[in-house]
Amino acid sequence: MKKYNFSAGPAILPQEVFAEASQAVVDFAGIGLSILEISHRSKEFQAVMDEAQALVKELLGLSDDFEVLFLQGGASTQFAMIPMNFLGENETAGYVDTGSWSTKAIKEAKRYGGTSVLASSKEDNFNHIPKGYDIPADLKYLHITSNNTIFGTEYHSLPDTDVPVVADMSSNIFSKPIDVDRYGLIYAGAQKNMGPAGTTLVIVKKDFLAKQVREVPTMLDYNTHVGKQSMFNTPPVFAIYVSMLTLRWVKAQGGVTGVQKLNQAKADLLYSTIDDSSLFYNPVAKEDRSLMNVTFLMKNKDLEADFLAAATAAGCSAIKGHRSVGGFRASIYNAMDLEGVKVLTEVITDFDKKHG
């Protein structure tokens, strides 16, 4: 039976990527050595790094005003690294609290400078993206989490401000076109929508990089990694290689514009099925619904175990909701095809007919 991976992360990757990456584990580029054992200083891996960075720039339309880095430590390290580098003791950064990850980012920022939580949807269990709040013009930066995996909300437009935006895009990077010039820094853990866990993409504007405010440990200094082209120390070679393969795949789908069309079609199908159901509902404000993580609850919780069993029997894996929300969650990242979403919607519809 075919399995459909709806996991929020580590998440689904294209089958073509698995095939090529598995071959490289045995023999990379025909050199008789595994990608897991070659030197990161070799010309073969340098070509991987060069192509990965070039694909990021091409797919997102980055100008030479931006640096592209592949770092370690996950997005969680960036929570502290950003304010450590850029937020002075007498400066203030604005944060919008839209869920667990932004809450953690706020906690880290408070260690280094003024941190103003401009808006939060916590009182409504993070079921919407806050709007209509004031953004002081003198902020060092405005931090947002562009897509919230746990609660299923997503920014579909940026706040109206000239303040540099810093965004955690871990779960929707490369899922749609973005206005890159609005951002001072973008970061994304690979394991949601780009590659395996182990590397974190950082895109930083050069004029924002110049605003560093303090000396920091060498490994936590963005300039260290810019100066050494992400190879100050041994980088996560395999994670970067698989991310490069995934970026090739995105390009082959028509780039971020091509995958956005598919992502919209998948989300429209799943949300409409949930909205038409008598048993299930989506708790998120419609204008803020995520195209990557679709959360849905049951009106009768006594039926949850039966539905989970039915979905599992149909090959739908990892749809149980996060423990802080409950219910169910279908993560439909770029690599999830329309077939998988159709299977899940058929399970929902059939279950609705039997128990509705």
Classify residue 318 as left (phi > 0), alpha (psi -120 to 50) or beta: left
The pTM of the whole model exceeds 0.75: yes
For residue 209, pLDDT beyond 90: yes
Predicted confidence (pLDDT) at residue 356 exceeds the cutoff of 90 = no
Per the residue annotation, which of 168, 176, 205, 249 is the catalytic one?
A: 168
Determine the pLDDT at residue 79: 98
- Are residues 88 and 214 in contact, defined by beta-carbon separation less than 8 angstroms? yes
pLDDT over 90 (residue 324)? no
The per-residue pLDDT for 42 is 95
For the segment 91-102, the average pLDDT, to the nearest whole number, is 98
Cα separation, 187 vs 70, whole angstroms: 10
* Mean pLDDT value of segment 215-223: 97
**Residue 168 known to be catalytic:** yes
Average pLDDT for the chain: 97
For residues 4 and 340, the answer to whether their CB atoms sit within 8 Å is: yes
Catalytic entry in 140, 176, 192, 205: 192
Taking residues 340-353, report their average pLDDT.
Answer: 98
Return the pLDDT at 8. Answer: 97
pLDDT for 251 beyond 90: yes
User: Over 90: is that where the pLDDT of 147 sits?
Assistant: yes
Scored b (16 or more CB within 10 A) or e, 311-345 reads beebebebbbbbeebebbbbbbbbbbeeebbebbb
| Cα 170 from chain centroid (whole Å) | 2
Give the DSSP letter of residue 177: -
Q: Looking at residue 171, what is its pLDDT?
A: 97
SS3 assignment, position 76: helix
Asked whether the predicted pLDDT for residue 221 surpasses 90, the reply is: yes
Orientation of helix 237-252 relative to helix 43-60, angle to 10°? 40
Question: What does DSSP assign to residue 10?
Answer: S
Please choose, from the candidates 176, 144, 169, the residue with its C-alpha nearest in 3D space to the C-alpha of residue 267: 176
Which CATH code fits 254-355? 3.90.1150.10
> 15-252 and 254-355 share one CATH topology?
no
Mean pLDDT of 60-77: 97
What are the domain boundaries of the chain? Answer: 15-252, 254-355
Fold of the CATH domain 15-252: Aspartate Aminotransferase; domain 2 (3.40.640)
Q: What is the pLDDT of residue 99?
A: 97
- With 90 as the cut, is the pLDDT of residue 1 above it? no
Asked about 101 being catalytic, the answer comes back as yes
Q: Is the per-residue pLDDT at 21 higher than 90?
A: yes
Run of H or E residues at 117:
strand 114-120
The model's pLDDT over 270-323, given as tens digits with 9 standing for 90+, comes to 999 999 999 999 999 999 999 999 999 999 999 999 999 999 999 999 999 999
Check 97, 101, 249, 288 and give the catalytic one: 101
